[in-house]
Structure formats: structure tokens, C-alpha cells
Structure 1
Amino acid sequence: MRSSGVLMPLSSLPSPYGIGTIGQAAREFVDFLKRAGQSYWQILPICPTSYGDSPYQSFSTFAGNPYFIDLDELSCSGLLEPEEYAGLDWGSRPDRVDYGIIYQKRYGVLQKAAERASRVSDPAFDAFCKQNAWWLDDYALFMTIKAEYNGLPWMEWDEPLRRRDPEAIAKKQTACAREIAFWKTIQFFFYRQWYELRQYANDRGISIIGDIPIYIALDSVDTWAHPELFQLDENQRPRDVSGCPPDGFSDDGQLWGNPLFDWDYMKRDGYAWWIQRIDFLCKVYNVLRIDHFRGFDSYYAIPYGSTNAAGGIWHKGPGMELFRAVEQSIGRQHIIAEDLGFLTDSVRQMLKESGFPGMKVLEFAFDSRDQSNHDYLPHNYTPHCVAYTGTHDNDTIQGWMTSAAPEDIARAREYLHLDDPENDHWNMMKALWSTVAELTIVQAQDLLGLGSESRMNTPSTTENNWQWRAVPGSFDDALADKIRHNMVLYERL
């Protein structure tokens, strides 16, 4: 069935408290999507962000981001007083997230709510802790120790804690029981609010597409608690790290810096960690988008300590063996494969065997730096794909139409019959909606006609990313009705 959705990060929702949350503004966005005739809301990873503020570099692959906890809902539950948070300075710009301010002030407010919650026995909290102990216990301890070390990476902790000496861990669990309880409590807050939001969306016919980064941050509880899963040396340092080789987009390639998985070890234990990870996130979201799908076929390994990605080499990944193990264990799941980038025949075969829909990005179709971009031209689409105007790593449509190479813009204008610059965003979205793709996704910024200043992320850069927010009132009924008219026109309702 033909359908459509919108890519809108939770952090980008309007909010008076510095960053989007899973409260009333999120429910209002769901109502907007329903009125606009949409079926899907795609978001970015909801895990806690670390240095650089990227949701793809997180302290935990299972935890929820405390920043997304809605403070008004905590107030309605009697856990906060409005004056404890409403009067604070959460940043001067309603269209940007100031992560420095959020980091400095959010946890103090959440501490007050957690302390009040601890005064009353809550069977729901006890059940949450018991059900999630397999990841929650390590996460709460990890964040507690990290706070004691003023945020230092775990690789720089004292050796007994760094190597998880049982006696040192037991002492820390006893001495820091209150702090550990705090980190567990805010995860309880997060997931209680999250599942309420997801139910609200599902009840209105909106399915949530979530994202799973392929790699794990080096400074994460996952790497600290399970070093055997990664290619680390005897000093617990990575042998090689992740990235992409040089190409037409970057002479130095992309140096991501994540530790690489020890696929031989994972194979021996039946890919248990991956099964657990995908199973968990398929229950968090309705549909799961697997980032960097090609990395399961073969992965690029860059020597640890390199200053760029030019010196890496390719290694064979687990391929379909991993996904067969997942399906055998937890059954067939709703999964989208992010198969962008340089694709080999073996990657195409893995995608075909998986049965997952791949991705098409309309902006890529006209990029003269990519010699394989014919796959992204709409006349080459097949129904079994998810088509985008652009992703969170691409410019907005209006931004792209001013920043791309002149010959690329000229080709796009001719191919798509774009003759009204002020409405390039609408005309390009209409071109996408008219394709045979079963599902199309457009960025929220494109619905608003915003330019490059609202771009979510520019790969290989470390500043001014992940900050865009919609201002209150952006997603009104008039816009919803205009979108719905197009859904009727292109039979995506």
C-alpha cells in the first residue's frame, strides 16, 4: 500500500525548555501527521547523546535520552513544581538546541523529580528495573562512575573499575546506591513517557520508524561492560576503528572512530548480543531502520590513532548469517535497510536475500560526484523501497538548490521540471510522492521550505549539527491540509 511519512527528530520539536520532548508537543505533531494523511513518523536514535551531541555516538544503545523526558508531565505527576524548571534559561534561540545549557541544567531538575519519586514505593518502577536489569544495571553504574570521574571516558578510569574488577564493582554498587537509583529512575521516566507517546501515535494510525546505528561509541557502557564483543587490544584500546574510505565527496574519507565488532566472537555465541539489541529496539519502535547496512557485508577498518580514513582496509562482515540468526530467534521484523553509499554486488545480493526495503534519496540522483547515482533517478525506482528527498545527513531541498554544483542543479531542474524556485521544495516533494515507491519520507524542514541554516547534520564536521528546532506554530492546519491534498492526488492516503 502506498503511504508517506515525515522525518522529524524528537529534539527538533518545539519546546519552551530548550529541546523537544516526548510530551504534549510530540502528541500535537502526531495529530498534525494524522490530519496531513501521513502514516509514518521517522525519528533519529533516542539514546543518550555524548560528546559532539550526535545520537549516533551514545553512552548506551539501550537507554533513552534523559533530555527528552517531558518536564510538564513530571509536574502533572506531582514530581516537579513548575517554578523549578519553567523560569530557567534554556537558551535564547527557539530554533536551536543549546546542548551546553541542557547538560548543565537538565539533570538538576530531573534529580528533584527522582528524589520525590523515591519517597513512594512504586511497583511499576520495581517491575521496570527487574525487566530491564540486563542492561539497566550496567548503565546506571556506568553513568554513576562517569559522574564521579567528571565525565572522563571509561578508558581513563582507575584500572580496577576500568577492568570491572568484581570487588571494586561491588564496593561501588554499595557506596553509590543512591546515585545508581537516580539513573534507573530517569530511565523509568523516559520509557514510561515513550510508550505512552508510541501508543498515542499508533492509536491514530501513525507508526514510528526508529534508527539503530550500526556502531557503538568507544566511551559507552556497551563497550565497557562487554569488551569481548569488540576488537580491542590487551590495554582495551581499539586495534582499528570505523569509517568510510575517500571518495568523490571527501579526499580524506570519514573517520567515525567507533570500535569494530569482533565478528568471530559474535558468530561463536550465535550473535546473541545483536539478537538482543534488535529485539529490544523492534519493541521500542514500530519499524527499525538499520544504519550503514552495507557494513554487515564488509566493513572498513582504519588503524587506531589515524588522523583520517585514507589508510583503512576492507574486511568481510557477517552478511546474511547474522540476519538469518535474528529472524530464527525473534521472527520476521519490520526493518528498513540504509543501503546508501558505494554498493558492491555482494551488498545488493544481501539486500535481496534479506527482503528488507532499501533506500532511495532524490538529491543523490543529480550529484555529479557519484557515478552510480542513476539508481536514485525516479524512473529506476521499484515499489519495494523507501524513497527520501534527503536524509538527516543531507541539506534541505531549498538549501541543496543553492549549494549544489550548478550543473547538478540544472540537471535536477530539467529532469523534475522545476521552474518555480520559491516552490522547489514542494515540486521536488511532489516528484517523490508521484514515484512507485511504496513508502516516501520527507524531512520536516522541507515541508516548511527552510534552507541550509536548518540542516540537521553535515557529515565529517563537528560543529553546528543536531541543533535545528521548529518554532511553535510551524505545523498548522493549513500546512496539514495542503499535504493531505497531495496525499489524495498521489494516492498515498
Structure 2
Amino acid sequence: MAKKRSSGILMHISSLPGEYGIGDFGKEAYKFVDFLAKANQRNWQVLPLGITSFGDSPYQSFSAFAGNPYFIDLDEFIERGYLTKDEINSFDLGRDPSRVDYGLLYKNKMELLRIAYGRAKDSMKEELNDFYRDNRDWLREFGLFMAIKEYQDNRSWMLWDEEYRKINSIEVQDFEKQNEDSIYFWVFTQYFFTEQWIRLKNYANENGINIIGDLPIYVAEDSSDVWANPELFNLDENLVPITISGCPPDAFSIKGQLWGNPIYDWVAMEKDEYSWWVKRFEYSFKLFDVLRIDHFRGFESYWEVKYGAEDAVDGQWTKGPGIKLFNKLKEE
């Protein structure tokens, strides 16, 4: 089958014009689709859409599955009666349209989302329950992780009180039972992130535009993925990474690049038939038409450095899963 040549533009959601401090899934995103179609483009590439952690990089996320609540269009909440325009305008979301102030978004947009949730949760109970059930395999651990993180003063899970560091502990189970409302706030954010993004993606597809997503090969150390699945990562008995990710020295960096992500335990993942990766790819292809995998060569072999190293010089190449992972993905 002949492949047709096409072109497009990389434009991350955050860089779209935005009335509320950052680009979002609102009217400006639809205008961008119209622009692409009018310019005879066929692809819109975005950076990772995950919920960003400290540092606000889309390549360091609290979850490999959860979307960034900053991208939720607040105008929909006005239409639904969950917020008013005056309320939104009373919060400082950033006054420079050429820059994103993530500190203000973290403080004020999240507060607006909490206000909207408080007004919506009773009438939306059935929709939120259905969404939770349909996505429970990743959403439970994410919502629980974020709720406990707030309870633990937003510290890294590695610094939480000991009883909360393992997802199957009695204390975590008790927390889950006693804090459903806090957990369901995060379900609410993911419901609207997903609904709004899928609507935008469908509009793009209807106008002949493919969405190219970006999938980082690694996950952040401070993530629900590592917290809930420590057996799938190269951690010691205290749940501290043994080795971390990076890139060896080259012509551009004499000390290499120390990324700091925990390394996968590929032996454990193979024994589990790569189920975490299967789940990750299946979910990603619900959100995107095409996937770019960041650091794809890491599946063949990867550079790993001892945890605590100051740079990436004294690392080593280690073989990755290679074609075995992709054969499993093809089966699925």
C-alpha cells in the first residue's frame, strides 16, 4: 500500500492563545484546526499531554496516563453553570499573554476546578462513576496517589509517611475509603480533560487532520506509575532507584545528560507479558492517531547511571527488550 506524503505543524496546547493563562481545549484550539485545514496541512503534532509535576515539563508527569488539567476549557463550566465569568476573572491566571505562569495556574486554576467540582459532583455522579469504572486500571492509582500527595504536603511519594508508600497497605486502603471526595476531584479533572480532548481530536479528524502524540519512554520517579507498580522498576528493598536514566557524553555534552528517571525492570515486565506497556499503548491510541516515542532507541539498549550520580559519565549501556515488546504489542 503506497504511503501518501503529508505535512503538518508541531504546536503544543500550552502555546495556543489562551484567555485563561495558558492554551487550552477551547475555541482557539478549534481555530488552529481550521487554520491547518485551510493551509492544506494534514498533521498536528503535540508534546506529551500528561499532568505536569514540579518543573512543569511535559516529559516529567505524575502519571503516564492522566492528562493535564491546565488544558481544560473553563468556558464549558460557564455554559454548564459550574462557574461564572466574573468568578474566573477574579482569579489571577497570568496577565502576560506571551508567557505561562505555572505558579498561578497551580494555585488559581486548580482552585477554580475545585469550585466547579463542588458544584458539579452531585449532578454528575453517574457520569463520573462510569468514567471511573471504564478507566479504573490506571485512574484508581492516579486519583489515590494525588489525594495522598496532597495529604502529605505535596511531597514526593518517597518522602511520604512509611504507611502510605505502598499502595496495598492497610493505611492506604483506609485512606481510600475515607477520602472518596478528594479522590473523585481528580476523576472529575480527567473526565473533562478526556471529553474535551476527544471532541477536539474528532473535529480535527473530520477536517482531515491527524493528531500526532508524543510518548516519553520513561516515567517520572514521583509518579503514580512507580508508586503503584514498584515491582516493574529497578528499585531496591527501600523502593529507592538503583539506577536512573541518562545519555552518555557526546560532542554536545562532555558530562552527558542525567535525566533521573527510574529504569524499568525489563525481566519483570517480560514475565508480566509487558501488560503495563500494552495498557499504555492501548490508551495512547485512544487519544492520538499517530505516536512519536521519545528516545525510541532505549527499547534496543539504554544508558543507565547509578542513583545519586552527579552526572552521566560513569554509566553503562544495557540491553532493552528489543523486538519482544513490539511482538507482544502486535499480538494485542
Give TM class, smaller chain. over 0.9
Letter of the 2:271 counterpart: R
Letter of the 1:143 counterpart: M
1:224 counterpart residue number? 227
2:295 counterpart residue number? 292
Structure 2: distance between partners of 1:309 and 1:97 = 31
Structure 2: distance between partners of 1:315 and 1:221 = 25
Structure 2 counterpart of 1:44, from 36, 42, 47: 47
Detail structure 1 runs of 4+ shifted over 4 Å in the superposition: none
Structure 2 counterpart of 1:192, from 181, 191, 195: 195
Structure 2 counterpart of 1:142, from 136, 142, 145: 145
Residue 328 (structure 1) shift: 1.0
Q: Say whether 1:92 aligns with 2:95.
A: yes
Pairing 1:70-469 to 2, within 5 Å after superposition: 70-329=73-332
2:12 counterpart residue number? 9
Q: Deviations over 1:82-121 (max 9, x none)?
A: 1111243222321111111111111110001111111214
Letter of the 2:32 counterpart: F
CA contact (8 A) 2:72 2:193 kept: yes
| Unpaired runs of at least 5, structure 2 | none
Structure 2: distance between partners of 1:19 and 1:150 = 26
Residue 305 (structure 1) shift: 0.3
Structure 1: distance between partners of 2:232 and 2:36 = 40
Structure 2: distance between partners of 1:36 and 1:128 = 37
CA contact (8 A) 2:93 2:109 kept: no
| Unpaired runs of at least 5, structure 1 | 330-493
Q: TM-score, normalised by structure 1?
A: 0.66
Determine helix, strand or coil for the equivalent of 1:75: helix
Q: Say whether 1:60 aligns with 2:63.
A: yes
Structure 2: distance between partners of 1:325 and 1:164 = 27
Letter of the 2:300 counterpart: D
CA contact (8 A) 2:50 2:58 kept: yes
CA contact (8 A) 2:166 2:172 kept: no
Q: Deviations over 1:282-320 (max 9, x none)?
A: 111111111101000001010100111111101001111
Structure 1: distance between partners of 2:199 and 2:167 = 36
Residue 178 (structure 1) shift: 1.1
Structure 2: distance between partners of 1:260 and 1:284 = 26
Residue 51 (structure 1) shift: 1.1
Q: Deviations over 1:16-43 (max 9, x none)?
A: 2111101111001000101111001000
Determine helix, strand or coil for the equivalent of 1:67: helix
Structure 2: distance between partners of 1:9 and 1:50 = 17
Structure 2: distance between partners of 1:165 and 1:42 = 38
Q: TM-score, normalised by structure 2?
A: 0.97
Determine helix, strand or coil for the equivalent of 2:326: helix
Q: 1:174 to 1:123 in 2, by over 3 A?
A: closer
Letter of the 2:141 counterpart: D
Q: Deviations over 1:401-433 (max 9, x none)?
A: xxxxxxxxxxxxxxxxxxxxxxxxxxxxxxxxx
Which one is further off, 73-82 or 274-283?
Answer: 73-82
Structure 2: distance between partners of 1:165 and 1:316 = 31
Structure 2: distance between partners of 1:66 and 1:39 = 27
Q: 1:165 to 1:279 in 2, by over 3 A?
A: closer
Determine helix, strand or coil for the equivalent of 1:326: helix
Structure 1: distance between partners of 2:309 and 2:258 = 8
Letter of the 1:227 counterpart: P
Identity between Structure 1 and Structure 2 (%): 50
Residue 165 (structure 1) shift: 4.4
Structure whose alpha-carbon radius of gyration is higher: 1
Determine helix, strand or coil for the equivalent of 2:89: coil
Determine helix, strand or coil for the equivalent of 1:302: strand
Letter of the 2:111 counterpart: G
Aligned residues: 329
Q: Deviations over 1:204-230 (max 9, x none)?
A: 111100011000100000000000110
Structure 2: distance between partners of 1:191 and 1:285 = 12
